[in-house]
Structure 1
């Protein structure tokens, strides 16, 4: 639930942002209680005035609901709040300006209800975004799924090279082969949910396992990584390598029959780098190779792949899409600039300034991509 609320608030932040220098005096938002219910959706907004407005959305019904503030003509959404429980109040802050508005109340188990139209006669309204339907998301989801299928084939081939090196006892070659195989899989980040249990077999960690890195359930890339960088013999790694290739091959062969949920594509674009910040930039997934920054770069590439499929929808909905593109480029340059002797640097080889810069850039991207998740979240209208 927390993630849903955090994503929902991202659009609110866009709507309520003002302009002007730091010396400009800020006007306090006006407060108004608005009812959320099937019979009186939007009741309470009277004498509308332009400017920043905070609505206390009070749910008087007996079930949870989400609320949109929209233009009743174009259906552009100017703010939303999800998961308002019965008898509770949540705030929505937006900048309203010249134009028409109406609240839409969407109960969990009933049809959507649109409240009365309210007209504001002056001022500049904040940015709005046309809602996205699941139908809109089907073409980008199908295009992305096709790309993932090709990526899985490459991952199988590269992992077979890793297995071959281990089978012939050449552990130096195996260490060289491990990274490209792992990075290829990491680029497929938005599909992990559709991979199901196979993802745990292929890329799981020892988190929660009784015997940690020595647990028999510890499998996949990180199991092999641990062995390669902690002196394990080739004979001990042959079975994990064979299991990795088998799991990847099975996933590749079944992928054509899998179906990604189109409604989740925007959220997955956000989660890729959210997980990168949580796991890669903290070193929690380093089992000896020191490749977290290289993995972060692969995750960044994977994020770009998702966004490239969503771009036709975002171009007319996300005003700061050029800014997102610039920040993706800056983050890539920062990660590339951290290389040491031509190879991806380990986290502990970074200077404090380098680490702070990379952390800052990735944190900023996570916030920006939360807006992508919000804008690509299909909204109920009935």
Structure 2
């Protein structure tokens, strides 16, 4: 493109038009007009046409060659290995220290997880899911030590030969040691004990809510409802983690044929809708009584529920509580009249700190700086949320200023980014 444009301009010549005959007076005027001198380079170029043309062609070519040579050469993968139904990376027989890329081809008929482990069992490289008949690149930084591939497939776990890497030590070699169900059982038991205590508090606050509704105290009932709702947030339910039992306590009318008037719409948000849409004791007391029963069901099944009772779900919960707040509270999806999104998000921040503390030793052992980073992010989020409070309580979400909303959204997005690293660190391999 450069050559076409420049050479076209270079070889273009203006047509020479003969000047008309002039009168003596015009000749005199012409002699009085002095033509300005052309620049020296232009006169030089006119006298040396060939060197100028060659320069215009050669210089950009030379510059392009220099740039191409200076650019880093794309590197291919260091080696390639395959996974089959009964073998794992049988080609793995040599490696070098430093960062390298390895193509892994899955020639089996099942998807699986492929890890590159060090001698201690720490994972230095991972392909989370490798589908059948596909190839993906695993990138890892290796220091001096012994490494082997581990293929976690539906038919069982297979392992490659161990390869010893020698040479200079490499800094920042991160080996993430997989956790086991036993590692997570203690933290999950501690969380369940906390959740059981919070559910007991919730049951008492719902009883106070019932009394306020029965006496016709609307302002008191709205205040007691918020207290109960925040209790539930602090239980740590996220993404339907208590299943249908949790939905009965805190579900929304989405998908119900009758919407907010559907008999299947129960729980705290059903009470919220009634309190902020003029419904009285005769309509709300049966709903609150059902809510009391449903809270009891959650308490009774807390340790045996498939989601809440499974220790492997605890690391996911650490991240999903605030992700749930972003999806439901700050978007307004679950606002049925109270406009209490920022109060609910603050409660979610509190329970996030609780569950993070339960798994903090496991996280610290695998990524020493992550807990501190998440904690700073939670502090920033709390500070942003507190700007939406007044001496009289939380501001309604529809009166919060744009600047306040932006601060909260930015802080929440930042801490969610940090929290997203935690579940992968505490993932239990399928073989565990």
User: TM-score normalised by the shorter chain: which range applies?
Assistant: 0.7 to 0.9
1:213 match? 260
**Cα distance in structure 2, aligned partners of 1:98 and 1:256:** 45
Query: 1:250/1:190 Cα in 2 relative to 1: closer, same or farther (>3 Å)?
Result: closer
Equivalent position to 1:282, from 307, 327, 331:
331
- How many aligned positions are there? 357
Matched, 1:87 2:133: yes
Cα-Cα RMSD: 2.5
Matched, 1:224 2:271: yes
Matched, 1:155 2:202: yes
**Cα distance in structure 2, aligned partners of 1:26 and 1:283:** 49
Equivalent position to 2:360, from 298, 311, 315:
311
Matched, 1:31 2:80: no
2:55 match? none
Q: For 1:82, what is the secondary structure of its paired residue?
A: strand
**Cα distance in structure 2, aligned partners of 1:194 and 1:229:** 27
Matched, 1:106 2:152: yes
Equivalent position to 1:293, from 319, 342, 345:
342
**Cα distance in structure 1, aligned partners of 2:90 and 2:424:** 26
Q: For 1:283, what is the secondary structure of its paired residue?
A: coil
Shift of 1:62: 1.8
Shift of 1:337: 2.2
Q: For 2:199, what is the secondary structure of its paired residue?
A: helix
* Matching of residues 1-382 of structure 1 within 5 Å: 31-32=77-78, 33-43=80-90, 48-71=95-118, 73-119=119-165, 121-122=167-168, 123-190=170-237, 195-255=242-302, 258=305, 260-319=309-368, 320-381=370-431
With a CA cutoff of 8 Å and minimum separation of 6, indicate the structure with the bigger relative contact order.
1
**Cα distance in structure 2, aligned partners of 1:228 and 1:96:** 61
Please give the TM-score of this superposition, normalised by the length of structure 1. 0.85
Shift of 1:183: 0.5
Shift of 1:341: 4.6
Q: For 1:83, what is the secondary structure of its paired residue?
A: strand
* Alignment gaps of 5+ in structure 1: 1-24
Please give the TM-score of this superposition, normalised by the length of structure 2. 0.76
* Alignment gaps of 5+ in structure 2: 1-70
**More off after superposition, 338-347 vs 357-366:** 338-347
**More off after superposition, 164-173 vs 55-64:** 55-64
Shift of 1:43: 4.6
Query: 1:298/1:312 Cα in 2 relative to 1: closer, same or farther (>3 Å)?
Result: same
**More off after superposition, 255-264 vs 236-245:** 255-264
Matched-pair contact (CA < 8 Å) for 1:42–1:116: no
Shift of 1:126: 3.4
**Cα distance in structure 2, aligned partners of 1:119 and 1:50:** 6
1:163-221 deviation per Cα after TM superposition (whole angstroms, max 9, x unaligned)? 11111211111001011111011111258756332111110001111221121111111
**Cα distance in structure 2, aligned partners of 1:148 and 1:35:** 46
Q: For 1:112, what is the secondary structure of its paired residue?
A: strand
Matched-pair contact (CA < 8 Å) for 2:97–2:165: no
**Cα distance in structure 1, aligned partners of 2:231 and 2:186:** 24
